[in-house]
Each structure stands twice: as structure tokens, then as C-alpha cells.
Amino acid sequence: MSKKKQKQPEPPAIELPEPETAEELVARLARQQQETEQAVPEETTMARIRHVLITMDLIDGVDAALAAMPEGTDEERKQKRIMLEWWNHGTVARRDNQMLLGMASALGLTSDQIDDIFRATAQLDI
């Protein structure tokens, strides 16, 4: 019995992209850097948030908003205490945190301004 050698199918051709010129590479890397710098961090530290709010002269507004929280009922007192504990002792601030969003609302900050604060925290060298 003779075995016939079966012809193997040709592998599909792989199309490689055209190589980038040095100028194209530099431009692409610059775009990537800019996109990275503009990304809004999902979380940051409370120390960084406080630092940015101090530099933006918003920290006194935070203190005033905390002081102005109602305390007429047990539930209001508990909510105020929770907020104070988070603000004074919390270590992480998430962009979607309801307490952070409530504080931002009390300060009259827009969503874009909150994003800017989070971006600014990423630029700190602390």
C-alpha cells in the first residue's frame, strides 16, 4: 500500500501594517499620553482630594456644608456622623461615591468639575 502524500493547504497570508515613520510614532504616542492624562481616575485618596480642594479654595465650603447638615432627628444625626467620619477619616474617594457626590452637590460642583478635581489628584506628586 502506497501512501500518497497529501498536499498541505497554504496557510493564510498575514497582512502586516505599514511601518510607522518616526513622526507618526511620535504623534501617536503624544495622543496616547494626552488621552491618559485626560482620563478620570475611578478613585483617589482622600488626602489628594483634600489637597486639591484646599488649592481650589473649596475646603471652607466643605467645612460649612458639613456644619450645616441637619441634626433634628436621630437619623439626621447618624447621617451627619457618617459623613463626618468619612470626610475626616476615610482613605479612599471613589468617583461614584454617594457621599462624595452629595458633598459636590452641596458645593454646587458640576460633574465636569468633579472630573477635573479627580484629574488634578492624579497630577499631584504626594
Tens of pLDDT along 66-103? 999 999 999 999 999 999 999 999 999 999 999 999 99
Cα 68 to Cα 49: distance, rounded to the nearest angstrom:
21
Q: What percent of the chain has pLDDT over 70?
A: 94
Region of residue 57 (phi > 0: left; psi between -120 and 50: alpha; otherwise: beta): left
User: Has residue 1 got a pLDDT over 70?
Assistant: no
Domain ranges of the chain: 42-123
38-55 tens-digit pLDDT: 789 999 999 999 999 999
Which of the four pLDDT bands, split at 50, 70 and 90, describes residue 2?
low
Cα Rg of the chain (Å, integer): 27
The answer to whether the beta carbons of residues 115 and 40 sit under 8 Å apart is yes
Q: What is the pLDDT of residue 84?
A: 96
For the segment 23-44, the average pLDDT, to the nearest whole number, is 82
What pTM value is reported for the model?
Answer: 0.69
Other CB atoms closer than 10 Å to residue 15's CB: what's the count?
Answer: 5
